[in-house]
Amino acid sequence: MSAHVLRDALVLGERRADILIEDGTITALADSLDAGDAREVDATGLIALPGLVDLHTHLREPGREDAETVLTGTQAAARGGFTCVHAMANTDPVADTAGVVEQVWRLGREHGYCDVQPVGAVTVGLDGTQLAELGAMAESVAKVRMFSDDGKCVSDAVLMRRALEYVKAFGGVIAQHAQEPRLTRGAQMNEGELSGILGLTGWPAVAEEAIVARDVLLSAHVGSRLHVCHVSTRGSVEILRWAKSKGWDVTAEVTPHHLLLTDELVRSYDPIFKVNPPLRSSDDVAAVREGLADGTIDCVATDHAPHPMEDKECEWSAAAFGMLGLETALSVVQLAMVDSAMLSWSDVARVMSTVPAAIGRVEAHGRPLAVGEPANVVLYDSGASRQWRSDDTASLSRNTPYAGRELPGRVVATFLRGRPTVLDGELAEVPV
């Protein structure tokens, strides 16, 4: 059995301690531990966080194995400090049956780099017309609790209501991709001054906010759980703040890129910056940062969306929406939120591990760093800094918007149930 002792780690960036990990569990956490023959890991100056949990990852398998596979996606996740990712349902075939979600779940387990918690589709084929067999997916070995048509909005109000009601039977949550389809037909970028100048069809904030407003009301009406994916506008933050003030059971996520990047980048017409929802104004960025800091937005989720280069090396309107995010998430959150003193490291643990695990109902993740807890741990060097390179990735795809940018921090080690998936910043060999 494996044993590691993480020497002199800064637990949640606050207190110095050694962490002893044995047989997948944290067995001791104190100063100057006698660790026997446990493998020593020098964690001096490194921040120890609970393994990160992503509520929003596109692993592309099955169907687009040219862009990403469960193996490469979970390797990228491990390099980013994640120990659990939620795999979105928009694969081919769509994850709308127990069979597909079990396959994806099993692939994650077999590869062993990161647990994969499949998200089930809300509607058959993401078609927005007929409910998928949500109960079958919930009862499958994958124990699906989060359902989403992500990539598409469940725009039909009745269907959304029914889905919210139906998942109450098994503690499920509907994760809504809030995008009013008629208001965003052909939309290419945030609607504002710049879309008018660039001649790109605008994607108005109201297209997101109208759905968020409708859905928080529906959620309150039927007394069910709503999660809002990738909140990107000030208006959405304000609606969520209001919904939470009413005590409604609504949660929300923001992506790292919406915390850092603005629509000004679209001036380059480089589709590396094309994403859904689109990059917004600097005022929206300020609003989602404030929302994350004050708890209106509950968590960070990457929306890691791999695409082959040919879908990005082209003209803007022909390009695919989406950007990579798993390997840069923690660095971007540090840059946007911690270095700006809006979040502490224990807040980061909350918004990137504890809370997403609670929303996704994954019990073995998002646990505190304490004796007796599962040994899902990240060691992070917040003092490091590096210029990001698009080819420095475990992903099969290269569509990172941060290439050439200086990003702080580096994931030094990731432990999944006591086993290192990343050590010394490199992917570890994981026994199958």
Partner 1 sequence: MIRHLLSSADLSKDDAVLILDTAEELLSVASRPIKKLPTLRGRTVVNLFFEDSTRTRISFEAAAKRLSADVINFSAKGSSVSKGESLKDTALTLQAMGADAVVIRHGSSGAPHRLAHASWINGAIINAGDGSHEHPTQALLDAFTMRRHLGDLDGRRVTIVGDVLHSRVARSNALLLSILGADVTLVAPPTLLPVGVDSWPVQTSYELDGALDKADVVMMLRVQGERMNDAFFPSAREYSRRYGLDTRRMRRLPEHAIVMHPGPMNRGMEITADVADSARSVIVEQVTNGVAVRMAVLYLLLSGSTDAESTEAQEEA
* Binding site residues, partner 1, CB under 8 A: 188, 191-202, 204, 268-270, 310, 313-318
C-alpha count within 13 angstroms, C-beta hemisphere, residue 416: 28
**Pick 2 or 201: Cβ nearer partner 1:** 201
Place of tokens 């199958």: 432
d(CA 327, CA 345): 18
**Pick 148 or 281: Cβ nearer partner 1:** 281
For residue 193, the minimal CB distance to partner 1 (Å) is 3
**52, 82 contact by CB (below 8 A):** yes
For residue 66, the minimal CB distance to partner 1 (Å) is 16
Contact residues for 280 (Cβ-Cβ < 8 A; gap 6+):
190, 205, 232, 233, 258, 262, 263
**Pick 268 or 385: Cβ nearer partner 1:** 268
CA-to-CA separations, 194 to 52, 176, 205, 280, in angstroms, rounded: 36, 27, 14, 10
**Pick 200 or 349: Cβ nearer partner 1:** 200
* Catalytic residue, candidates 150, 303, 311, 347: 303
Place of tokens 């703040």: 241
303 catalytic residue (yes or no)? yes
Residue type at 389?
R
For residue 393, the minimal CB distance to partner 1 (Å) is 21
**Pick 117 or 184: Cβ nearer partner 1:** 184
d(CA 75, CA 400): 16
**Pick 317 or 340: Cβ nearer partner 1:** 317
For residue 254, the minimal CB distance to partner 1 (Å) is 24
- Give start and end residues of each alpha helix (H) in 189-261: 193-198, 205-222, 234-245, 256-260
For residue 308, the minimal CB distance to partner 1 (Å) is 12
For residue 200, the minimal CB distance to partner 1 (Å) is 5
For residue 205, the minimal CB distance to partner 1 (Å) is 11
**10, 24 contact by CB (below 8 A):** no
d(CA 216, CA 241): 11
Give the DSSP per-residue string, 104-117. Answer: HHHHHHHH-SSEEE
**Pick 173 or 272: Cβ nearer partner 1:** 272
126: tokens are 């993401």
d(CA 393, CA 389): 8
Beta-strand runs (E) in 23-125: 25-30, 39-42, 47-50, 52-57, 82-87, 115-118
**200, 188 contact by CB (below 8 A):** yes
Catalogue the active-site residues.
303
